[in-house]
Structure 1
Amino acid sequence: MSSNMRIGGLASGMDIDKLVSDLMKAERMPLDKLTQKKQYLEWQRDDYREMNTLLQSLDQTIFNNVYLQKSFIIKKVSSSNENAVSAVSISSASNVSNTIEVMNLAEAAAWKATGDVNGASTTFETVNGTIKAKAETELKFKVKDPGTSAYRDVTFKIYAGDSIDTVISRINSSGLGVSAMRASIDIGGGNYANRVIFTSNKTGAGGEIVAANAATNTFLKDLGFTVPATENVDTDSSGSNDGFLLGKDPSKPGADATIKINGYQMKQTSNTFTINGIQYTIKGTTNTPVTVSTSTDVDAIFNSIKTFVDKYNEVIEKINNKLKEERYRDYPPLTDEQKEAMTEKQIEKWEEKARSGLLRNDSILSRALSSMRMDLYTRVGTDTDSINNNYDQLSEIGIKTSSNYLDGGKLIIDEAKLKEAIEKDPNAVYQLFANDGADYQSKGLARRLRDTLKNSMNNIVEKAGNTLKTNNQFSIGKLLINVDSQISRFEERLAQIEDRYWRQFTAMEKAIQRSNEQMAFLMQRFGGNS
């Protein structure tokens, strides 16, 4: 805006501000059109992105429910004695019936100190009745877990001033693989003493804890453990002993579970173990064999497929609604001045119509719907591949297209027929959805759909971008950059036009002022002569 002095109607008596404002309203009309165009583009961009979010949610539903094999191998598991043996199916594809006998459970080893914590030793001192660590000490262990042959290194520190309870807490959080505690132990003769006990966090036989240096050996002894120098071991196969074994014979040795499955005896380091995709948990010994059986969980698989169908129907309904949405061209975006004259409710209703129909008959969404329908209706596989020909189309497992054209291609499930197909051959149903073929014909329905969705979402991103894209990386964004540039140029032009109007009216006011002054002068002269 010009810095020239503006005179607002003092001489003429006219409302120059209003005159200029009214003139500028006419001048601003092209700018309002540009601003409305920008708003349309932003709304269209947001509508596209909303559709992309919708397609992404369908893709995720496909992946979670009909793409992964785990959705089609869900099993019901029953045990003839849940108190002794329970089981769940982890990855078993076929149904099984196994007998299990439990001879003994797996148990964790425990090491019990034979003496009290030495409060006047190399490691500890007693201060005001509390046992504390005397100095910072780095402790080094080598640990062999049950069921393994290699030793792993564990290193941690205790610090000067640590109470005995803090030291025990540091042991528990060190990765040593034990739960350490001070417990009241019967030491005979009706006497009890607080002794340190290490209990392995893992069940099974063969676990070892080795003090890997002299300082750690001393630390264990000061805790009250017996660590004979003769019980040292070679932990790194170097041929020489490099550590001190914490009790060759634990006070409570670890033990493997002993079981028989279908008559074959085996050992397990844990009471929970997995064999052939079935996870068993043994809880007690058995007098008679326990039968564990699996069967196809038809309802669970049915629900996974139904979840996909419901989501698919939801998505195509929303896309169809967008494609058919009415366009109200008599309701352009409101200008700021128009909004000031309306209530919030009026603005809301106006903009609802103004935003309507921005994706009407959109080619990207129309192609996406058409491709998805073809993906679902095209037969999977050929006559010569491994696909079960009885289940190579959706209709053969009880899923058909609605006969009502107003539904826009929604899927309808025949529950009885679908459950029958799942019961009869769940793997064939899985292949129908997720067969990993080399070409379109051989690909399962879920794979085809995910390819179509990926392509459609990429097309939308090229058109409308996403939150990670800048405006110059997608089509609508480039249009917005262009409109913003036009708006900036036009605003500069309007400033110049407004300045010109003010210069003109200011010149007029000055002319009128001079005329008034001359008239007053003449009036004064003529009046004086009379």
Structure 2
Amino acid sequence: MAVNGIYGLSGSGIDVDSMVKVGMISKQNDYDKLYKKEVKNEWLKEAYANVYSELNTFTNSTMTTYRRSAATNPMLVAASDSSVVTATANADAAAMSHTVEVKQLASNAYMLTGDNGITRNAGAEDEKSIYLSDLIDTSNWDKDTKLSLAVSDGKSTETLTLTYEQVVTNKQTLNDLAASFKNLGLNIKGGYDATNDSFSLYNSSGGEDNKISITAKDTNAASLMNALNLYQVETTYDDNGKPSSSLKKNADGSSTLNFAVDAEQSVAGKDAIAIIDGKTYKTDTNKVSASNVTYSLLSTGSSTMTVSQDTDKLIENVKKFVEDYNKMIDSLNDKYNETRYKDYGVLTKSQENSMTKEQIEKWNEKAKSGLLYHDQTLGKAISALREAIYTPVESVDSSYNTMMSIGIESKTDRGHLKLDEDKLKKALSEDPDCVYQLFTASGDVTDKNGKTTTDYKQEGVIGRIYDKMNSSLKEMKTYAGTSTEASDGSTLGTLILQLQTKMSNFKTMMDAYESKLYKKYDAMESAIQQLSMQMGYISNQ
């Protein structure tokens, strides 16, 4: 603002600053109206964004969970011998019994140092030296000497090479050798256990097609591998079918693995073999899936698996649905009926300057209250939620075609639900599929032209809620966007940007008008000063 007011030079008593301030009052009032409107719309957009976020989570996360059959038709599996096999069933599994005979468990290819530990040279630094140069004779090595191993996991083959610099100069260790196997990029992992002086190689994938195959390409490589004293680890079973691991040995107790140049030494995992309902299954893990049931094989032997509805889990899921629904509709109702304080509007900057931070916060809390009072979009969403609950599902061919029939009903005029658990249990005992059908019926109908549409009256409760709430979300997004960002193309966002432009232009006009007033009153002051000088001159003649 211009600050060129002159006061009292002529003795006129004109206060230019005060006169300009008075002259700007009407303009400032007009600007404040724009400011208040812009801020209120920002608040409104923020209020919508909060509702959108909450409703979007409820619709596209929470309700999506209940659309899955796992929530509305959970199944459990009981085993006659859970030490042999356990199982889980998805919602599409039939309630029936299955016979399972486990013939063999899956295992992984595994090599491990035998009981005698790793062999060192006679001149090794100590009997448990970890240096590779103490495992093989490097006295005749020169800088060009190296050793190479061809290593395969049954799917791919890579070459592991160790140079003079690595083995002799840098004195690589057994831990470095383990890392070298890992760094080949195969499924084979190496490890060294210093406590037990044991080296191991392990294929992380099980089954007979996954192996550890090693071919020494030179005598140094063969010497190194033999020094590790590796045995094949195999799975054996006791009389009760319990698995255990043991080292595979020759009759004299020596390892079946003997490394020589270009002679591949290989061990393979084993496939799991199980007979389920008379059909044989082979797999490289101890999990087998059949008829929507996933079996976890634990030992050899037989077991009868009984699949049935998990009524306790289903009741818990229905209770959780009621809680989630109530939380959402209560939140919408609170905003829809929130008290509006008409005496509390947006504060201007001038008003805020005369208040404390705490006073401003308390004022704005009141001013923001009721922004969505009786909002049309919220009202439609609330009505849609309630209608979805109360409308019978006509595609359900039983007496349990309403939420009330399974114990879910509202006791208040705000749509808050209550669950009669005993009534739900009775319904499930008479019709185990009642919740699944009532909640998830598709409602899809196809006309004579092959066009498929959704019939609201035939659609399940969850589908109705999902469809109607997404419609409300779309309406909110069009009007107010999904965040507080004004440049989102929404109706409210566009209005805010327009108001901000008007405010900016109005501010420019105000500055120009203020400068005009200063010039006007400065000229008046100068004229009075000139007149005063003339009058003084005349009076002195």
Please say whether Structure 1 and Structure 2 have the same fold, judged by a TM-score greater than 0.5: yes
Counterpart CA distance in 1 for 2:342 and 2:218 is: 87
Deviation at 1:30, TM superposition (A): 0.8
Shift of 1:225: 5.7
Q: Which moved more, 1:196-205 or 1:361-370?
A: 196-205
> 1:56: Cα distance to partner?
0.8
Over aligned residues, Cα RMSD in angstroms? 4.1
Alignment of 1:77-116 (within 5 A): 77-90=77-90, 93-111=93-111
Superposed CA deviations along residues 389-433 of structure 1, whole A, max 9, x for unmatched, are: 23332222221232x32xx12222121222333455444422322
Corresponding residue number in structure 1 for 2:407: 398
Cα separation, partners in 2 of 1:246 and 1:181, compared to 1, 3 Å: farther
Q: TM-score, normalised by structure 1?
A: 0.76
Give the aligned partner of residue 342 of structure 2: 329
Question: Using the alignment, how far apart are the partners of 1:443 and 1:130 within structure 2?
Answer: 79
Deviation at 1:62, TM superposition (A): 4.0
Deviation string 1:190-238 (CA, Å, 9 cap, x unpaired) is xx9x675423323333533456xx9978896364269xxxxxxxxxxxx
C-alpha offsets along residues 68-109 of structure 1, whole Å, 9 cap, x if unaligned?
112134234444444443333355523344454545543333
CA distance in 2, matches of 1:504, 1:202: 91
1:245 and 1:394, CA in 2 relative to 1: closer, same or farther beyond 3 A? Answer: farther
Q: Is the 8 A contact 1:72 1:301 kept in 2?
A: yes
Contact conserved, 2:206 with 2:270, CA < 8 A, in 1?
yes
2:190 partner amino acid: A
User: Which of 280, 297, 305 lines up with 2:295 in the alignment?
Assistant: 280
In the alignment, the residues of structure 2 paired with residue 254 and residue 472 of structure 1 have an alpha-carbon distance, to the nearest angstrom, of 58
Residue 433 of structure 1 is aligned with which of 430, 439, 442? 439
Indicate conservation of the 8 Å contact 1:172/1:179, yes or no: yes
1:92–1:515 Cα change, 3 Å: same
Looking at structure 2, the residues matched to 247 and 156 of structure 1 have their Cα atoms a distance apart, in angstroms, of 15
User: Deviations 1:158-181 (Å, cap 9, x if unpaired)?
Assistant: 786372422321323544222323
| Distance in 1 separating the partners of 2:160 and 2:150 | 7
Partners of 2:147 and 2:220 within 8 A in 1? no
Distance 1:345 1:135, change over 3 A: farther
Q: Equivalent residues in 2 for 1:254-403 (5 A)?
A: 254-261=269-276, 267-286=282-301, 289-382=302-395, 387-402=396-411
Q: 1:301 to 1:254 in 2, by over 3 A?
A: same
Q: 1:64 to 1:481 in 2, by over 3 A?
A: closer
Partner of 1:21: 21
Provide the residue aligned with 2:222 in structure 1. Answer: 221
Q: Cα–Cα, structure 1 residues 200 and 371, in superposed 2: closer, same or farther, change >3 Å? A: same
1:316 Cα deviation from its structure 2 partner: 1.9
Range 480-489 or range 418-427, more displaced = 418-427
Name stretches of at least 5 consecutive residues in structure 2 with no aligned partner. 122-130, 228-261, 445-453
Asked whether the equivalents of residues 120 and 134 of structure 2 are also in contact (C-alpha less than 8 Å), the reply is no
Q: Does the alignment pair 1:34 with 2:34?
A: yes
Structure 1 residues 174 and 89 mapped into 2: Cα distance closer, same or farther (>3 Å)? farther
Counterpart secondary structure, 1:389: coil
Shift in CA distance, 396/183, structure 1 to aligned 2, threshold 3 Å: same
1:444 aligns with 2:460: yes
Note if contact 2:93-2:291 (Cα within 8 Å) is conserved in structure 1. Answer: no
Equivalenced residues, count: 478
Q: Which residue of 2 aligns with 1:7?
A: 6
What secondary structure is seen at the aligned counterpart in 2 of 1:40? helix
Q: Tell me which of 175, 178, 181 is aligned to 2:188.
A: 178
SS at 1:93's partner residue? coil
Displacement after TM superposition at 1:136 (Å) = 10
Deviation at residue 464 of structure 1 after TM alignment: 0.5
Question: Identity percentage over the alignment?
Answer: 27
The 2-side partners of 1:130 and 1:480 are apart by 83
Q: Distance in 1 between matches of 2:14 and 2:365?
A: 42
**Cα deviations across residues 5-64 of structure 1 (Å, max 9, x unaligned)?**
543444445543233223323331011001001011111111111111121122135434
User: For 1:487 and 1:261, how far apart are their aligned partners in 2?
Assistant: 77
Q: CA, structure 1 residues 136+500, in 2 after alignment: closer, same or farther (shift >3 Å)?
A: farther
Letter in 1 for 2:389: L
Counterparts of 1:368 and 1:158, CA distance in 2:
70
State how far apart, in whole Å, the 2-side matches of 1:219 and 1:422 are. Answer: 72
| 2-structure distance, mates of 1:399, 1:516 | 92
Structure-2 change in CA distance of 1:394 and 1:498 (3 Å): same
What displacement does 1:313 show?
1.8
Instruction: Go from structure 1 to structure 2 and tell me whether the alpha carbon gap of 1:517 and 1:449 turns closer, same or farther (over 3 Å shift).
Output: same
Do the aligned partners of 1:100 and 1:259 also contact (CA within 8 Å) in 2? yes
Please say if residues 148 and 221 of structure 2, whose CA atoms lie closer than 8 Å, have aligned partners that are also in contact: no
SS in 2 for 1:293: strand
Question: What is the distance in 1 between the residues matched to 2:147 and 2:465?
Answer: 62
Q: Which amino acid aligns with 2:437?
A: Q
Q: CA deviation at 1:480?
A: 1.5
TM-score of the superposition, structure 2-length normalised?
A: 0.75
Unmatched tracts of structure 1, length 5 or more: 119-123, 145-150, 186-191, 227-243
User: Which residue of the partner structure matches residue 412 of structure 1?
Assistant: 418
Aligned twin of 2:153:
143
Alpha-carbon distance between aligned partners in 2 of 1:414 and 1:36, rounded to the nearest angstrom: 50
**CA distance in structure 2 between the partners assigned to 1:98 and 1:437 by the alignment:** 33
Query: 1:184/1:511 Cα in 2 relative to 1: closer, same or farther (>3 Å)?
Result: closer
Partner residue, 1:496: 512
Relative distance call for 1:435 and 1:16 in structure 2 (3 A) is same
Aligned to 1:65: 65
